[in-house]
Structure 1
Amino acid sequence: MMVLLINLPGESVRKPEEHCGLAFLKAYLEARDICTDILDAYAKRLSITECLSYIMEWLKQDDNCYIGISPFVTSHENFIIVGEYIKRISPSAIVFAGGHYASLNKEYLLRTYGWLDAIIVGEGEISLYEMLINPFNVNVAGVYRRGLEDKFIKRERIKNLDVLPFQARYLTPNELEGQPFAITTSRGCYGECSFCSISSFYKLNDCIKQTFRSPQSVSAEIHRLVDDYNISSLKIVDDNFFRDKSDDFLDELVNELSDLEISFRLSARPNDITEYRAKKLKELGATVIGIGAESAHEDSLRLFNKGIDISYSDRAIKYLSDNGITCLVNFIMFNPIIDIDGVLENCLFVEKHMHESLFHRINSHLWIRTTDPIVDKFVELGLCDRQGFPYIECRYKNKEILRIREIFDIWCNHNMKEYYADADILMANGIVGNKHIYEHYKKMLEQDVEILKDLVMMCKENRLEQDGEKYVRKCMEETK
């Protein structure tokens, strides 16, 4: 039996990263003597043509094969191209899909695409293994299989993540282009943000929101990575690093890793960053902490079901900054309910914290998928008719906001690659030790804020349509 797991090709100015979901599947299957390859076309920057060529060569090895695809909303078109191609050249191959997008849209995808044989729903290691070792017509928990749709059985979550083998390392440091290796210490998040698929995804298994590894297991994997690759940095890719109100895990992990000199990047909710935790994170070696601030506009925070106000983000940034840790602020500048004053509030928040924090490009807006809980709210507000797939089409309450966004996108898109050339380095390693890169990055961010504030003022003065795009194009000419 041969298994190929595919991360589809896609265009991005970002540097490559490991696909931890596929890496865990590979490790789990190979620990049970099932030969498993990963084609990470995204990380290796392969075109769709190169991806198909690889698949053709791989299929020549064995007809008894299973090919799994991990599609994202953004790779839906390539998902169709690859799936159709596999079945055309090898009708006997079993084609399955998994991950958030496939799991949450399982009924639609299996109904629409005849080449798709099954979907691994939710957490995949055990479900996939049992699908592989049983005849394909056997109903397996966690597998939504063609012909057995009405007999689907949920798979319980893996409650103790220590039972899983360490994830496979299938990309070399050179292929990661300077990005650190990734590691997982937990799965899921206790939050219920309405725009996020994490909670919905794990509920496909059961109602347990978050599962964990022990500090001893995490430490053992990190020590192995240091021994095998001589690494000096790691990215913890948990949906949320913190697990409850206890500090025990962080305290124990600091002790377990006290013999190493290694830096970390991780993510947390703003309310999880306390003064004590910031100090312990510094002791751990954290250089970059991502927080989901999302918005400075209170109505937007309520829409997002954050359960906190912006003061938690202000405090988190301060605690981290006081300890020399760079804060990466995840932020949604535009959304369908925000008004002109709300965009200005967002601008002022970015302006307030740009001198000690990092931001993704601030032209970010809310992408709304068909399965996001927030869709129900937009339907209730009369801004959405549930039209579209895989994204839902939503109207903006204030059409002028949409126009500001369109004009601001012109500005941001002209130097997006340059922005992330700096931002990716800073997001991986932090501001400390990268002052020259940070100064160049900050100059671009300052321009972003200035231009967006000017567009807001033009809107307030009823000059946006007349002057907005001309102003942005003039700014672009001046920066050439």
Structure 2
Amino acid sequence: MMVLLLEHPRVIAPERRNDIANTPLTSCLLTGYVAGVLKREGHDVDIVEGYLDNLSYAEIAERVKAMAPDLLGVHMVYQWQRDQLLFDFLEGLKTAGVVSYIAVYGYYPTFAFETILQECRAIDGVVVGEPELTFAELASRLSRGADTENIPGLAWRDAGGKIRCTRRGLVNDLDQLPFPVRTGAMMRLPEINIQGSRGCYGGCTFCYINPFYGQGSHWRGRSPENIVAEIDEIIAKWGKRDFYFTDPNFFGPGERGQRRALHLASLLKSRNISFGIEARVNDIHDETIGALVEAGLRHILIGLESGRDESLKRLNKMTTVAQNEEALRILRRHGIEPNVGFIMFEPGSTLQDVRTNFEFLKRNLLLDNLAVTANLLYHYQIILKGTPAFQKLVSEGRLKVSEDSYEGVVLYENEGVACLAEVMRRITNFLFARMAGVWSGRVKPPAGAPEIYKKVNSLLVECFETLLTALESGEHLNEEERDKFARRNELKMAELLATIPGGDI
């Protein structure tokens, strides 16, 4: 049968310029893996890259009409609000009889399937969790004209309109999955995404990686040989040698994870590639990092999250500040300056918590790069449905949910923290907008840019410390005073950045 998989167009909201990705990086290969499994089952599959190819819905509609697929799958990526444009597009296709069955999939649909099925009648089913085997069964039933009820992993409406869903078991042996289908648009990215594992052995309260995979989910890794076979295929077919592992937890648990990483490093060493990874700080071991660097490791994201042990316990990180600092030392010893995940503002943060975080960042030289500083000095904890934090705050009656009930907003318990978070969010959003062209690579900065960035970075740190100190001394800023503080410093930044090519403000 004919299957079309759509990566739909989406727009990043200006007020959310640098929040976490709309969906975790691990989701970027969902469509490719679904396509790979469907092709293996004998189905004709096409992928439309609406986002990467910058297609309009009108252009996509023509593609859908030309193919006339029996099944349309849409990787539904959350955009921080109800996606009425997408819903209207799907309603139009269904009304026109262009496609008979529409299924959506991804992280957002997994947790919001009830809302989606209630609000968009054109959508027939929502694939919940790992999508490959569910799609294969759905396509098989549709091709045979069989009913599509009671498919594990598929949320659907019964004859009475009641929404039903049963979760599907995990793919335990990832080596049994075919390599993901890769489009030309994906291969134009500066780094080629590759997935070496799924899930995580951690249990952070803010994370929805494991809830996505379902009850009893765990870390699962592909064999190093299987990973290298895919890399060899990409090198041979596309000539690409820059990779990024999308795994939220590259290493996997304990000694077994370290041995696997060392074995993978030994196989990669002769490939002459470069790659990036993401990892927990407790998995940063000197011997393993040294071997990976020799094999081509060039950058890494580690989740520090806090400089205060009490906060790490609240977040259930199962790590310590000492481990955070040791990981930084090891990585720097091997020539890697890591990108870091950090939550400056939690719902229950006190000014003392924020001060401890700030001093931790300064002590560990993490506020010396403008792009990094801008991230670290504003990041607050986002509460997404499916996470333990969401469930806890809802049960406590402390969460205000968004219109689609997917994202929750919780008021800060401490008024001073709320003030600091609000002002820094505004100032950093101004900076993100002003630097959008340069940081996206669309425009080239002038020769003197590094010195300018250094001055802006110092100003940003000064803003944070000045306001934090004032709040610690008992000052209270009303809305007008907050606005004046933000505008004054935005003007200073604008003056310093006058010679830097502008963004979109």
TM-score, length of structure 1 as denominator length: 0.87
SS in 1 for 2:463: helix
Question: Which deviations, in whole Å up to 9, do the C-alpha atoms of 1:384-418 show, x marking residues without a partner?
Answer: 36675121232210133222222212211122045
Q: Distance in 2 between matches of 1:260 and 1:208?
A: 33
Q: Structure 2: any 5+ residue segments left out of the alignment?
A: 442-446, 495-505
What is the aligned length? 463
1:27 is aligned to: 36
Number of the residue aligned with 1:245: 254
- Aligned pair in 2 of structure 1 residues 459, 356: CA closer, same or farther (>3 Å)? closer
- In 2, the alpha carbon distance for the partners of 1:189 and 1:446 equals 37
1:187-336 equivalences under 5 Å are 187-203=198-214, 206-246=215-255, 247-336=258-347
Report the CA distance shift for 1:378/1:355 in structure 2 as closer, same or farther (over 3 A). closer
Q: How far apart are the structure 2 equivalents of 1:39 and 1:62?
A: 11
- Structure 1 gap segments, 5+ residues each: 426-434
Q: In structure 1, how many angstroms separate the alpha carbons of the residues matched to 2:172 and 2:390?
A: 30
Are 2:5 and 1:5 aligned?
yes
> SS at 2:347's partner residue?
coil
Please say if residues 422 and 437 of structure 1, whose CA atoms lie closer than 8 Å, have aligned partners that are also in contact: no
SS at match of 1:264: strand
Amino acid at match of 2:248: D
| Equivalent AA in structure 1 for residue 114 of structure 2 | E
Q: Do the aligned residues in 2 keep the contact of 1:105 with 1:371 (CA within 8 Å)?
A: no
Identity of aligned residues (%): 25
1:83 paired residue number = 90
Mean Cα displacement is larger for which, 106-115 or 249-258? 106-115
Structure 2 CA distance for partners of 1:44 and 1:448, relative to 1, 3 Å: farther
2:465 aligns with: 453
Paired residue for 1:474, among 488, 491, 498? 488
**Is 1:181–2:192 an aligned residue pair?**
yes
Deviations 1:358-405 (A, max 9, x none): 567232212212322112332465533667512123221013322222
Decide whether the 8 Å contact of 2:345 with 2:380 is kept in 1.
Answer: yes
Within 5 A, what are the aligned runs for 1:64-463? 64-74=69-79, 76-77=82-83, 78-90=85-97, 92-134=99-141, 135=145, 137-138=147-148, 139-147=150-158, 152-172=165-185, 175-176=188-189, 179-203=190-214, 206-246=215-255, 247-352=258-363, 353-354=365-366, 358=372, 361-362=375-376, 363-379=378-394, 383-384=398-399, 389-417=405-433, 419=435, 444-461=456-473, 462=475
Q: Report deviation, 1:197.
A: 0.8
1:438 positional shift: 7.2
C-alpha displacement at 1:292, in angstroms?
0.9
Question: Is the 8 Å Cα contact of residues 134 and 153 (structure 2) preserved in structure 1?
Answer: yes
Q: Report deviation, 1:310.
A: 2.0
**Worse-matched range after superposition: 180-189 or 144-153:** 144-153
Q: Provide the TM-score with structure 2 as the length reference.
A: 0.83
How far off is 1:446 after superposition?
3.9
| Equivalent residue number for residue 498 of structure 2 | none
Cα gap change, 1:189/1:173 in structure 2, threshold over 3 Å: closer, same or farther? Answer: closer
Q: Residue type matched to 1:137 in 2? A: D
Report deviation, 1:145. 2.4
RMSD: 2.9
Q: Deviations over 1:49-93 (max 9, x none)?
A: x1x213321232254521122223326414433333332333752
Distance 1:171 1:457 in 2: 51
